[in-house]
């Protein structure tokens, strides 16, 4: 009997101690004071509530500090908690901590953590770290889609071809169709060539409104999508009457071998274009990851974050418009007074003349492409000492005339003039493209076209 009482007392003491321990542990959890060892005991002894439930309750109570403290203890042995911690730090933009906890979850075979960490690496352009993470789960649709984005950036054509059947299935069929639209796959490039032949036939039979074609290319999925968006937006601009943009196609960055730095003008080797049989346009537009936008004779370069304003500015060079901001000192057109007109919006002429005003006016205007739009009543010469200075006076600023521009300011020997006194998109991307410049194009739409991209080919191949 005494033994029975002793055992009952012992059980009561144990249960009371257990209750007190659990109560104390819960209080420590709420106060973010529990240790890893105490948590381990609690998980063993508390048969009614597990740590996952406690974490949910802490979030419901808004006790983020306690949740964070408990989750750090629990995440070392629980993949889902480690993943939740990583997500917490990612949302709080503590990327280093997020990466550490994703790695903890990955060690515990958490698939979503692999994809989340790979996405961080992608944003950081650490492409080399992505394949080891995602290749083991390439059957996962999200993983495969991201692997394709990386393959496009890195020009891994073998991966692109080898996995396209897998990509065409399930949830990635939309991405597959998109890549086919952009002529990414070898068979879609062949289809593109066939469509091109059909386009040539149509072009032969019908007069297109635009003066020139520009075939767009991009080195990444982001660039391809951005090119498509720019193309759609440009279709509503007035310059679309003269310039036709063609659906972007894929070209690997390795193939075009760009050599510029992040803050330098984009510069790539043009020799690759001799291998493409799917181009009949006069010009090429290449969208790369980063760099300064520019036009190099028959090839326009922009980066995948450049907007429509930048695109319009650069495209205008193809059809004969020159920058109205200071050109490099060694720029060919600023070295001497022009012998003949070379642009729709710019002339480089002497700024001082001697002689009879009317004869000088006629001689000067013979060098000006927009002369037919200058009213006879709009002066271009003003009396200065024993001669005349060239420039339309400020009082005629709303007229078309000859107004000084900054294009040749770095070269003291020459002065550049433009049709309008106001600043335009040829000086600042954000400004407007003047309606009057469209009127000037109409005078001779194809007179000042840039040379085609074959110029770049001959130069880079030296033939």
> Which pLDDT score, from 0 to 100, does residue 324 have?
95
> Which pLDDT score, from 0 to 100, does residue 321 have?
97
> Which pLDDT score, from 0 to 100, does residue 42 have?
60
Answer yes or no: are the C-beta atoms of 66 and 72 closer than 8 Å.
no
Report the topology of domain 12-181.
1.25.40
Whole-number mean pLDDT of the chain? 87
The model's pTM is 0.83
Q: Is the model more confident about 411 or about 426?
A: 426
User: Residue 19 pLDDT more than 90?
Assistant: no
- Whether domain 186-319+453-461 has CATH 3.20.20: the reply is no
> Which pLDDT score, from 0 to 100, does residue 33 have?
62
> Which pLDDT score, from 0 to 100, does residue 205 have?
37
Q: Domains of the chain: which residue ranges?
A: 12-181, 186-319+453-461, 332-443
Answer yes or no: are the C-beta atoms of 155 and 258 closer than 8 Å.
no
117-121, 172-176, 288-292, 411-415: the lowest-pLDDT one: 411-415
* Distance, CA of 382 to CA of 392 (rounded, Å): 8
* Distance, CA of 459 to CA of 1 (rounded, Å): 108
> Which pLDDT score, from 0 to 100, does residue 207 have?
43
123-127, 198-202, 373-377: the lowest-pLDDT one: 198-202
pLDDT in tens, 274-333: 999 899 999 999 999 999 999 999 999 999 999 999 999 999 999 999 999 999 988 999
> Which pLDDT score, from 0 to 100, does residue 103 have?
97
Residue 61 pLDDT class (50, 70, 90 cuts): confident
3-state helix, strand, coil in the chain (%, to 5): 55, 10, 35
Query: Within 13 Å and on the Cβ side, how many CA atoms surround 10?
Result: 6
pLDDT in tens, 181-191: 999 998 655 55
Tokens of residue 283, six digits: 């010009």
> Which pLDDT score, from 0 to 100, does residue 168 have?
95
User: Residue 197 pLDDT more than 50?
Assistant: no
- Quick check: helix, strand or coil at residue 299? strand
* 302: phi then psi, degrees, rounded to nearest 5: -135, 165
User: Residue 25 pLDDT more than 90?
Assistant: no
Q: Edge to edge, what strands does the sheet with 299-303 contain?
A: 243-250, 212-218, 283-288, 299-303, 294-296
Measured between alpha carbons, how far apart are the two ends of the chain, in Å? 112
131-140, 207-216, 388-397, 450-459: the lowest-pLDDT one: 207-216
* Distance, CA of 108 to CA of 308 (rounded, Å): 46
CA distances from 95 to 72, 91, 100, 142, 227 (A): 16, 9, 9, 21, 30
> Which pLDDT score, from 0 to 100, does residue 203 have?
47
Q: What is the CA radius of gyration of the chain?
A: 34
> Which pLDDT score, from 0 to 100, does residue 22 have?
56
Beta carbons within 8 Å of 264's beta carbon, 6+ residues apart: 291, 292
* Distance, CA of 298 to CA of 458 (rounded, Å): 11
Residue 201 pLDDT class (50, 70, 90 cuts): very low
User: Residue 347 pLDDT more than 50?
Assistant: yes
Residue 412 pLDDT class (50, 70, 90 cuts): confident
> Which pLDDT score, from 0 to 100, does residue 111 have?
97
């Amino acid at each position: 009997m005494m033994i029975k009482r002793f055992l009952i007392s012992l059980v009561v003491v144990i249960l009371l101690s257990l209750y007190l321990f659990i109560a104390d542990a819960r209080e420590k959890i709420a106060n973010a004071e529990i240790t890893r060892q105490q948590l381990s005991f609690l998980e063993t002894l508390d048969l009614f509530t597990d740590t996952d439930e406690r974490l949910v309750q802490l979030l419901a109570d808004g006790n983020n500090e306690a949740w964070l403290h408990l989750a750090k203890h629990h995440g070392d042995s629980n993949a889902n908690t480690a993943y939740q911690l990583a997500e917490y730090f990612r949302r709080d933009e503590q990327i280093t901590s997020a990466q550490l906890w994703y790695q903890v979850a990955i060690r515990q075979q958490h698939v979503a953590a692999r994809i989340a960490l790979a996405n961080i690496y992608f944003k950081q352009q650490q492409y080399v770290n992505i394949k080891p993470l995602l290749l083991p789960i390439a059957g996962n649709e999200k993983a495969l889609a991201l692997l394709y984005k990386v393959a496009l950036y890195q020009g891994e054509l073998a991966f692109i071809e080898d996995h396209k059947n897998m990509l065409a299935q399930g949830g990635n069929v939309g991405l597959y169709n998109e890549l086919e639209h952009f002529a990414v796959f070898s068979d879609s490039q062949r289809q593109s060539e066939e469509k091109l032949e059909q386009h040539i036939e149509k072009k032969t039979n019908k007069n297109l409104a635009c003066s020139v074609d520009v075939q767009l290319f991009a080195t990444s999925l982001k660039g391809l999508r951005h090119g498509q968006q720019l193309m759609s937006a440009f279709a509503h601009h007035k310059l679309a009457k003269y310039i036709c943009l063609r659906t972007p196609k894929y070209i690997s960055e390795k193939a075009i071998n760009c050599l510029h730095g992040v803050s330098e003008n984009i510069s790539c080797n043009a020799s690759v274009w001799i291998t493409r049989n799917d181009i009949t346009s006069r010009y090429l537009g290449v969208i790369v990851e980063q760099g300064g936008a520019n036009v190099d004779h028959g090839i326009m370069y922009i980066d995948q974050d450049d907007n429509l304003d930048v695109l319009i500015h650069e495209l205008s060079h193809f059809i004969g418009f020159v920058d109205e901001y200071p050109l490099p000192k060694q720029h060919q057109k600023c070295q001497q007074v022009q012998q003949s007109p070379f642009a729709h919006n710019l002339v480089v002429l002497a700024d001082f003349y001697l002689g009879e005003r009317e004869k000088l006016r006629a001689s000067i205007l013979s060098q000006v492409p927009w002369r037919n739009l200058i009213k006879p009543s709009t002066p271009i010469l003003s009396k200065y000492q024993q001669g005349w200075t060239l420039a339309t006076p400020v009082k005629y600023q709303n007229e078309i005339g000859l107004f000084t521009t900054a294009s040749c300011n770095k070269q003291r020997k020459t002065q550049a003039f433009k049709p309008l006194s106001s600043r335009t998109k040829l000086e600042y991307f954000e400004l407007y493209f003047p309606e009057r410049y469209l009127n000037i194009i109409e005078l001779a739409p194809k007179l000042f076209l840039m040379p085609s991209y074959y110029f770049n080919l001959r130069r880079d191949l030296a033939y």
